[in-house]
Structure formats: C-alpha cells, structure tokens
Amino acid sequence: MASLIGAYGLIALLASSPAVMCAQQMDYLARAQQLGLDSLAGRVPTYHSSGARERAAALQKMLEEAQGYFTQRIGVTPDVALAVLSEPDWGRLRALPYGVPWVSNSPHLAVLPADLERSVIVRGFAGVRERASPATRRALQDAGVPFDQVPYRLSDLIAYHEVGHVVVATYGLTQTQHWLDEMLATFAAYAFLRDRHPELARAWDALMAFNIEVYSPEFRSLEEFEKRYDGMPQDTYAWFQGMFHVRLVDLYKERGIGFFADLRGAGIVAGAKYQTTSELLTRLDQVAPGFQRWATLLGRGSGR
C-alpha cells in the first residue's frame, strides 16, 4: 500500500496483505510498454494481453469516466494508465499473486487481471463465502449483486480505489499516516460512485458490512495499524477497510467531495506529520466532527 497502492474490500482485501501491493521505486509503466502488449488509445492509455481487448476497453471506459468526474468536481485530473494482463504477462511485469490489483507511483499505472477466474480474488472468495449471514446475502442481492457474483461483479470496483490514490496524490493530500491515506483513497472512489453510480455504491456498502461481519481482527487500534501496516494479517486489513468505510459514508453525507477542499484548507496536506494518532484525530475533528467518536468504534468492533 504505501502511498499509492491498491486492493480494496472483499475484492483483493480478502485475498492479499498490504505489503505485497506497494509499487514505489520502479517505472512500471515503462516496463508494461516493453512487454509488447496490444494497446488502446485514450485519455487513459491502456495496454492489454492478447484476447483481453474487450475487457480492457470496458475498464478503460470506467477509469476515463472517473477521471472526468474528478476534473469536473475538484479540478484535478488523475493521470493514470491501465494494464489488463493475463497471468503470464502479470508475472512478467511484477511478481505478485495474480489478480491483486495495484497502482504504481508516478508515472501511475493501474494493473488489473484479464482473467478473473484465475484471480486470487475469486479463488479467495470460496474460503469466506459461508461466513456471510442471510442478512448480508439479502443486502447484496438488494443492491443488484447476486451472492455468487460478488467476486466477479465487485472485483473491478477496486479500480476506482486505485484511481482514488492518484486523486489524493494529485490533490496534495497523500498522508504520512497510512490509515488516513487508505480512507481518503476510498473516499474518492465512494464519492464518485455515490454521485454517478449509486447502485454500485449500495453494493459497496453491503460488501464493507460483510467485511466487518465475517472478519475477526488481530488488533483494533489505529496506532497498531500504523506499526504493522506492511505485515498485517489479511483478515485484520479487510476488517479495518470495512471500518474505514463506516466513517467515510458519514463524511460523504455531511460534506460530499468538498471534504477534500476542507482538509486542504485546514492544512491536512501531503507530508504533514503528527506526533500521535490522537493528535491527527483531534485535527480531523476540527474539520469534520466525528473522527474520535468513530475511533472508539474500532475498539468495540462495531460498525455503528
């Protein structure tokens, strides 16, 4: 994860740990361009493996819509390219478990799988599906996602989280505390979905409730999240993402995408350092009251 990483929700969060998803020191865009892939021109330059043109075009359209939204709403255009790769090409680009979406640091390249059947996301879902309550299954169904289709239909939503990291960086809000950086990337994605695709936002809501319901975290504090960010248990990371979602839903209802401008106006910007998590929570409460109250929910392990 670090500053620009990827994977969110059941969708990769269920299947991978944060440490594997960092992409910092290498120019992965240049590496992708050297793989001899087919390409699609557009505002989001797209590279794809043989046989993946249709899927790549659909994903490119998704990202270009999000790109236009952020340009219009907050005046930043996330500059990102896309690679949609088969398992062999994935391994040629980077040695990660196949299907764990990620995004590199500048120049930004979002990488998504061409074959969802081979993805660890779909395979990982089989190991957790029986933990879901009837209520969660109904919530997903009501949101237009039949339970058996969850890992397929929602896998691609991770792409918006990846774009969210680029938005946060471009807007000047990349945080030194990882938990807030993760929350802000997802906030960007969620604001886009609520504004443009409310049906997908409802599906995301139900999925994050699933995370809180079925995962038992090894720890619950934000301080521990920071200390163990690069090696935290998968279940713990998935649970935290569900809890981050609880807070960002309220933020969206109260502030909308204008929350980003509120943060920047309050000096909670890229590189700002805080002595403690408590200090950061206090600062955030001055911008949007409710952060410290939300932090107490973590200890109780409650979504509300």
CA distances from 20 to 46, 104, 128, 164 (A): 23, 12, 21, 19
Which residue has 């209802």 as its token pair?
253
pLDDT tens digits, one per residue of 286-303: 999 999 999 998 888 655
Q: Which of 157, 118, 136 is nearest to 13 (CA)?
A: 157
Query: How many Cα atoms within 13 Å fall on the side-chain side of residue 25?
Result: 0
- Per-residue pLDDT at 301: 64
Residue 109, classed as helix, strand or coil, is strand
Other C-beta atoms within 10 Å of 295: how many?
Answer: 20
The ranges of the chain with pLDDT < 50 are 1-23
- Per-residue pLDDT at 304: 55
- Joined together, the tokens standing for residue 126 give 């089989």
Q: Does domain 10-300 have CATH number 1.10.390?
A: yes
- Per-residue pLDDT at 231: 86
- Per-residue pLDDT at 73: 97
Cis peptide before 289 (omega within 30 of 0): no
What residues are paired with 82 via a beta bridge? 46, 110
- Per-residue pLDDT at 161: 92
- Per-residue pLDDT at 13: 44
- Per-residue pLDDT at 149: 86
pLDDT tens digits, one per residue of 136-156: 899 889 988 898 888 888 788
Sketch the domain layout of the chain as residue ranges.
10-300
pLDDT tens digits, one per residue of 210-254: 888 888 899 999 999 999 998 888 789 889 999 999 999 999 999
- Per-residue pLDDT at 93: 97
- Per-residue pLDDT at 302: 59
